[in-house]
A and B are shown apart, each in its own frame.
Chain A
Amino acid sequence: MNELSYNSDLLKRYLLGRLPPDQQDSVEEKFFTENDLFIELLDAEDQLICDYLSDRLSAVDRERFERRFLTLPDRRNEVELARLFRAGNIEQPSIEPATMRASAPDRPRQLFAALRANLALTGASAAALILIAVAGLWLVSRQSTELGDYGVTAPERSAVITLELAPVLDRSEGATPRVVKTARARAIGLKLAAGPTAFLNYRGSLQRLEVEAVEVMTSDALKWEQSNSGDRIVTWEISTDKLLSGNYQVKLEGVNADYSIEGIGAYHFKVVEE
């Protein structure tokens, strides 16, 4: 048995929980310290899922697989997706290598945002979201009054509803902040927690989330203010005329002094009509 197949068999037994404790510890220490072995482990996991779906596992292994892979939500989803792929007759897309991007744009920054967003261990819910919605109304002095064709004064809309948001990681967990659009509301004032990094400028893209994300509007020069802790809060006032009922997402980016752009985070909220 060559080294590769020895590894595959050993890794399969590890994944199915068939190794004695000392051998399990040894495999785990090795996959932490050896990149190649860990990649093989990930491959072995995929192969195991494939074997399960193709009914190639023994009855004992099948039972072990179902205990270990169908009880944890993330692994269960993985099996589900692999199953759907096989059932769906998905065609291989053809694409020239030259058209592919070399790498995801500034992935380390996305990883940092993800780590900061996870506050499950600080006492928040296991959904690990910080979502703070504060609805407040205050009156803003009217700038102008419009007369309709029949000399009727349009109803005054002067209120701005404030909504404070933090970047979210997993939209499926936890409650999405919602804002109720009243007849008197002229705009919704978003306050986006943007972290401590001082960017030269902030850009935002507002998208309505339905089956596909549809861009509603963008802004290339959002204002910001400093919080007491020194972090930046980016503000964006959006006319209620632009906001129908539904789910929305703001994608916030920071512009550096050298004009390079970095993603800061995605902020979700829901608009509901009064």
Chain B
Amino acid sequence: MSTPPPTQEVFDKLLLYLAPDRERAGEEYELLRLRLLTYFRSRACLCAEELADEALNRLAQKIADGEPIREITRYCYGLAHWVWMEYLRDPKTKHTSFDELPLMTVIMPDPLLLQERMDCFKRCLKRLTAEERLMIVSYWDHDQQSDSTARREIAERMGISPTALRIRISRGKNKLKECYSNCMEKGQKR
């Protein structure tokens, strides 16, 4: 089960299918990918990223092959299901459900490691753009109100739609996660 990644032309066709405006199409693509990740993660899948990309590669190819697709998101849901079934049927797959996984308890790290983690976190927060930092800090800092209220207020302040804000928060968090992982990895090698 491996569909080759799309060419630029095929990818551009997919974007056009999602929305005529390229930037809006990019947002729809990211939302689609996030949906796929959510779908596969809810099934205790450790390779959620790979399966999500497989589904998207197939979707892009179907569109390039001229297959008529009325509702692309519903079609993608069907693709996700199909990819998941294939993954389970693959003899190389050793899938374990959440209920079979050992319970992960949180062990408090020693003070030195805790400090190192905090240093990495603050350093990585500084490496975000000002806009990303504002979004993420504002978003995390709203414990007293509902998420949708907080999202609306932040979106209004920034002059963008709540959906666009949500996508950018996801992007910012991914950058933060990657930076933090790299920073911690460097620290462990010392």
- Supposing A50-B143, A81-B121 touch, asked if A170 and B22 sit within 8 A by C-beta, the answer is no
**Any A CB within 8 A of the CB of B25:** yes
Question: Which residue of the partner chain, among A72, A74, A108, contacts B22 with CB atoms under 8 Å?
Answer: A108
Nearest CB in chain B: distance from A101 CB, A: 6
Chain B positions within 8 Å of A101 at CB level:
129, 131
- Using a CB-CB cutoff of 8 Å, which residues 48-68 of chain B contact chain A? 48-50, 53-54, 56-57
Flag if B98 contacts A17 (CB, 8 Å).
yes
Task: Flag if A95 contacts B7 (CB, 8 Å).
Answer: no
Name A197's closest neighbour in chain B (CB-CB): B8
Q: Say yes or no: is A260 at the interface (Cβ < 8 Å to chain B).
A: no
Do residues A28 and B77 form an inter-chain contact, with CB atoms below 8 A? yes
Q: Contact check, B39 vs A28: say whether CB atoms are below 8 A apart.
A: yes
**Which residues B21-75 have CB closer than 8 A to chain A?**
22-23, 25-27, 29-31, 34-35, 38-39, 41-42, 44, 46-50, 53-54, 56-57, 71, 73-74
Given the interface pairs A111-B26, A121-B2, the reply to whether A84 lies near B117 with Cβ below 8 Å is: yes
Chain A residues contacting B151 (CB-CB under 8 Å) are: 39, 43
Contact with B along A70-108 (1 / 0, CB 8 A): 111111111011101111101111010101111110011
Contact of A95 among B41, B98, B131 (CB under 8 A): B131
- Give the interface size bracket for B toward A: 35 or more
Interface residues on A, range: 35 or more
B99 to chain A: which residues have CB within 8 Å?
67
B2 and A123: CB pair below 8 A?
Answer: yes
User: B44, A72: Cβ atoms under 8 Å?
Assistant: yes
Main secondary structure of the interface of A (DSSP, over half): helix
Distance in angstroms between the alpha carbons of A87 and B117 in the assembled complex: 11
A145 within 8 A of B: no
Q: How far is the CA of A24 from the CA of B46 in the complex (A)?
A: 20
Asked if B4 is at the interface of the complex by the 8 Å CB criterion, the answer is yes
A100 near B131 with CB under 8 A, answer yes
Q: In whole angstroms, how far apart are the Cα atoms of A172 and B139 in the complex?
A: 26
Decide if the interface of chain B is mainly helix, strand, loop or mixed. Answer: helix
Q: Is the CB of A32 within 8 A of B5?
A: no
A104-B177 contact, Cβ under 8 Å, with A82-B140, A121-B2 = no
Of all chain A residues, which has the CB nearest B99? A67
- B98 near A121 with CB under 8 A, answer no
Which residues of the other chain, B, contact A111 by a CB distance below 8 angstroms? 26, 29-30
Q: Which residues of A contact B133 (CB under 8 A)?
A: 93
> Once the chains are docked, how many angstroms separate the CA of A66 from the CA of B139?
23
Tell me if A214 is interfacial: C-beta within 8 Å of chain B. Answer: no
Are A121 and B1 in contact (CB-based, < 8 A)? yes
Docked Cα-Cα span, A99 to B157, in Å, equals: 12
Chain A neighbourhood of B147, CB < 8 A: 43-44, 46-47
Q: In the complex where A67-B99, A77-B177, A171-B178 touch, is A93 in contact with B23 (Cβ < 8 A)?
A: no
Beta-carbon contact of A67 and B98 below 8 Å = yes
* CB pair B148 A103 closer than 8 Å: no
Contact between chains at B173 and A71 (CB < 8 Å)? no
Q: Assuming A42-B166, A43-B146, A107-B23, what are 17 further A-B pairs, CB within 8 angstroms?
A: A29-B74, A31-B38, A32-B73, A38-B31, A38-B34, A42-B170, A43-B166, A47-B146, A47-B147, A63-B103, A81-B180, A85-B137, A86-B140, A100-B159, A101-B129, A115-B53, A172-B181
- Interface of B toward A, CB cutoff 8 Å: 1-8, 11, 15, 22-23, 25-27, 29-31, 34-35, 38-39, 41-42, 44, 46-50, 53-54, 56-57, 71, 73-74, 76-77, 80, 98-99, 101, 103-106, 117-118, 121-123, 125, 127, 129-131, 133-134, 137-141, 143, 146-148, 151, 157-160, 162-164, 166, 168, 170-171, 173, 176-178, 180-182, 185
